[in-house]
Structure 1
Amino acid sequence: MEVLMIEDNEAVCEMMAMFFEKEEWHANFKYDGKEGLDAFTENNTKWDMIILDLNLPSMDGMQVCREIRKQSQIVPIIMLTARDSESDQVIGLEIGADEYVTKPFSPLTLMARIKALYRRSKVDHTQKVAEEDFDVVTEHVKISTMTREAYLDGQQIESLTPKEFELFALLAQHPKQVFSREHLLTRIWEDPYFGDERTIDAHIKKLRQKIEAVGPQVIQTVWGVGYKFDDSGVEDK
């Protein structure tokens, strides 16, 4: 773990350094608010944990916390303070601190808080990343245009060609909206398209076969008009 501890009491830092070393964590200590913020800003994706004192020279912990949160919404922050004031705790949490530890504190207690917060933050971040990986999400379908992967109820729809993927993504982005063959051709191929509109039918047929290999059909024909995506009738597994 990479820990940045911003604390002006050197004795506290020396004490915590021993505990961090025992866990084989890499810790960087700053004794000034501005210096601590600069250390974070220099590489704001490096840190796994911020331990932040409230009372600091040059820039107090509240200001540092605000500035850190402008750069990162996910780095865990534990705020330390000698004040035992509920209002301070509320303000600290409101501006982005995740935990609040009042001095004097037991190093073992702080270590336990750090470990618990780190575990929780990793779970939260993993879930967030998992959700953000998919830019098309419906009740049963998830599609990533970055990785060009599509899933139906957690099962990957394999071997989609570029045009099949683009057709599927476009339809899924607009559930229940009916697209004519002409519209699909101009959106997925080029405008104007001089080929046969039935090329859409051929691609839809292959796309449906690959969808049906993993689950129920979600591409529907609207006779005389075109096609639409609709997974509202798919039963939950």
Structure 2
Amino acid sequence: MDAHKILVIDDDAKLRDLLARYLTQQGMTVETLPDARDLDRKLARNRPDLIVLDVMMPGEDGLAVVRRLRAQGESMPIIMLTARGEDVDRILGLEMGADDYLPKPFNPRELTARIEAVLRRHHTTPALVARHEADEAITFGDFVLHLGRRELAHGGRPVSLTSAEYAVLAVLATHPRRPLTREQLMELALGKGGGESLDRSIDVHISRLRRALDSGEAGVRYIQTVWGYGYVFVPDGLPRDAA
């Protein structure tokens, strides 16, 4: 297997050098940038498998970078590094389309684990979906979720999802009408345990998925809230008490 190509973007030169050395020792190929000015040229010339992106940078900050890349339809995995004590940057990063976040200061071993987990989600099928045939698909409304290809299409056109969003949708869709708690979704889709901050993360992923699944049809919602419990996937999108 080829080494994973990682692009680290951070204005802290010492941290860039530390991560470049450590991730290289873990068998990855690493390039670095001090800011986002040369990002587009870097992506065009030598596309990485994953970007590690600092939130606080001069010029275009990390949140703006994520928002711009996702608006362009870019689905490359992104892990954000957040320095602030508040959760706001982490939640905003997820809302913009980041796959995961890691607060500073952090142990490089934790970053390596996050990188490997995100890349597994991006390139492989979640455990609960793996038992399905490669060509199996789930159809709901005008949407088709291709489990083998890890793709969501609407009216025949692909819908851009992050690896985390796809994993959450796949778990929900393969358990139709079965309510799942936030903790179950975090563990089954993302391989993480529970906790308040993780609960908020799953809520952000669900919110983005709902926007992606908005068919424009009044009263139709495929992912519904089970108050005091979690979320449930409803294939016809009708309120559960009307189904």
Please state whether the residue corresponding to 1:80 is helix, strand or coil.
strand
Q: Which residues of structure 1 form unaligned runs of 5+? A: 137-237
Write out aligned runs for 1:21-60 (5 A).
Answer: 21-40=24-43, 42-43=44-45, 46-60=47-61
Q: Distance in 1 between matches of 2:150 and 2:82?
A: 35
Per-residue CA distance 1:11-30 (angstroms, 9 max, x = gap):
11111111221123211100
Q: Distance in 1 between matches of 2:100 and 2:115?
A: 9
Task: Classify 1:132/1:97 alpha carbon distance in 2 versus 1 (closer, same or farther; 3 Å).
Answer: closer
State which drifts further: 51-60 or 64-73.
64-73
Moved runs in structure 1, 4+ residues, more than 4 A?
A: 130-133
Q: Distance in 1 between matches of 2:49 and 2:40?
A: 15
Q: How does 1:151-190 map to 2 (within 5 A)?
A: none
Deviation at 1:74, TM superposition (A): 2.5
The equivalent of 1:9 in structure 2 is 12
Of the structure 1 ranges 1-10 and 122-131, higher mean CA displacement relative to structure 2 is found in 122-131
Q: 1:18 to 1:71 in 2, by over 3 A?
A: same
Match for residue 62 of structure 2? 61
Alpha-carbon spacing, 1:77–1:130, altered in 2? closer, same or farther (3 Å): closer
Alpha-carbon displacement from aligned partner over 1:155-177 (angstroms, at most 9, x marks no partner): xxxxxxxxxxxxxxxxxxxxxxx
* Partner Cα distance (1:101, 1:68) in 2: 20
* Partner of residue 165, structure 2: none
8 Å CA contact retained: 1:32, 1:58: yes
Flag structure 2 segments of 5+ consecutive residues without an equivalent: 127-133, 135-146, 157-243
TM-score of the two chains, using structure 2 as the length reference: 0.49
Q: What is the TM-score normalised by the length of structure 1?
A: 0.50
CA RMSD of aligned residues (A): 2.7
3-state SS of paired residue (2:27): coil
C-alpha change, 1:130 and 1:68, in structure 2 (3 Å) is closer
Partner residue of 1:129? Answer: 149
| Equivalence for 2:119 | 118
Taking structure 1 as reference, are residues 91 and 131 closer, same or farther at Cα in structure 2, changes over 3 Å only?
A: closer
Larger Rg: 1
